[in-house]
Amino acid sequence: MVINSNKMNEIITDLKSLKNETLLNLKNSKANNTIRAYKSDYQDFNLFCIKNNFKSMPSEPSIVSLYITYLSFKGLKMSTLKRRIVSIGVIHKFKGYYLDTKHPSIIENILGIKRRKGSNQKGKKPLLINYLKKVINVIDEKKINNIKRYRDKSIILIGFAGGFRRSELVSLDYEDIEFVDEGLKINIKKSKTDQLGEGFVKALPYFDNKKFCPVISLKKWIVASKINSGALFRRLTKGSKLSEFRLTDQTVALLIKEYLELLGLDSKNYSGHSLRSGFATTAAESGAEERNIMAMTGHKTTQMVRRYIKDANLFKNNPLNNIKL
């Protein structure tokens, strides 16, 4: 069978279209915040390559392995090293290249670093219930207008009670919430572990203590802000007037740090993730089942949740509790 030149050109064009469409699908398979994180990680790798006259795109496993060793010298956590490897591999896919991130030179290097330096490195602290209450008290006592007060309380209480990721929290729209007799239903359209965008619903019941109730707090915010569509949590202007722009996930972290500093705590020990980890740890301390914690947080694997449970049980099941002095 002989294929004429016009037919061949059509096939080539179709293949190029398929390749471009495939790359577009790969990019759209990830949440926007995840893609930003991948790009940020890759930029650091690219700088490393530039400084050492290495080719960053396409790269080689041996170069990635050297980069990982360099990061370990800087004292970065094992979880960060693994994330950087994933990011470099994903960006290669986006550019149409294949990089073997499971190559022995990378995997064996990671194992060696883990054995030499350990992987149980100290992360950011969870915001536990006792400090959560103190933060809410600080917000109530601080001389700020009610718009900021209601917004900040809602963000912190909803973020904690729902075990939210910052990206999920700031992506919420008014249309995603529904007040029911039992409390509040929140529709999560898409999250980090829900790349297909199937969505799921979080349910927050009313708390007995109204001061710390996320449902009541959100109602107050909606009444004060008069929001009836679009972004649920928005930026305030310098004059503390409500804008049309939604908050960024970085703002959530800054809010938490702002109020922790007013409590006299070192804000460097906390991050925006402290609300999520605080919920999971507190729920574990209270005896909540692993599967129920995962249903709220949206974790797809048990590894991280079991770590929260382990931390929660350090004192709860401590053998020293049975020793009387």
236: β partners = 242
299 is catalytic: yes
CA distance 204 to 185: 6
192 is catalytic: yes
Burial of 17 (0-12, 13-18, 19+ CB in 10 A): exposed
Residue 238 DSSP class = T
Active-site annotation holder among 84, 151, 165, 202: 165
Alpha-carbon distance of 89 to 94, in angstroms, equals: 9
Q: Which of 51, 211, 276, 300 is catalytic?
A: 276
**Active-site residue identified among 42, 67, 270, 308:** 308
Q: In the structure encoding, which two tokens stand for residue 3, read together?
A: 């294929």
Residue 176: how many CB atoms within 10 A of its CB? 17
Rounded CA separation 86/71 (Å): 14
Active site (annotated) includes residue 36: no
Going by the DSSP 8-state scheme, the letter that residue 319 receives in this structure is: G
Q: Is 273 a catalytic residue?
A: yes
Choose, from 192, 220, 234, 235, the residue flagged as catalytic: 192
Q: Which of 84, 125, 151, 273 is catalytic?
A: 273
Per the CB < 8 A criterion, the answer to whether 230 and 174 are in contact is: yes
Helix 78-94 to helix 5-28 angle (10° resolution) is 150
Catalytic residue among 151, 299, 300, 307: 299
The burial of 213, by beta-carbon neighbours within 10 Å (0-12 exposed, 13-18 middle, 19 or more buried), is given as buried
C-alpha dihedral, 253 to 273 to 266 to 128, nearest 10°: 120
The DSSP element (H or E) to which 236 belongs, if any, is: strand 234-236
CA-based nearest residue to 81, from 66, 100, 96: 66
Separation of alpha carbons 58 and 92, rounded Å: 7
Cα–Cα dist 308/305, whole Å: 5
Asked whether the beta carbons of 57 and 97 are under 8 A apart, the reply is: yes
List, by residue number, the catalytic residues. 165, 192, 273, 276, 299, 308
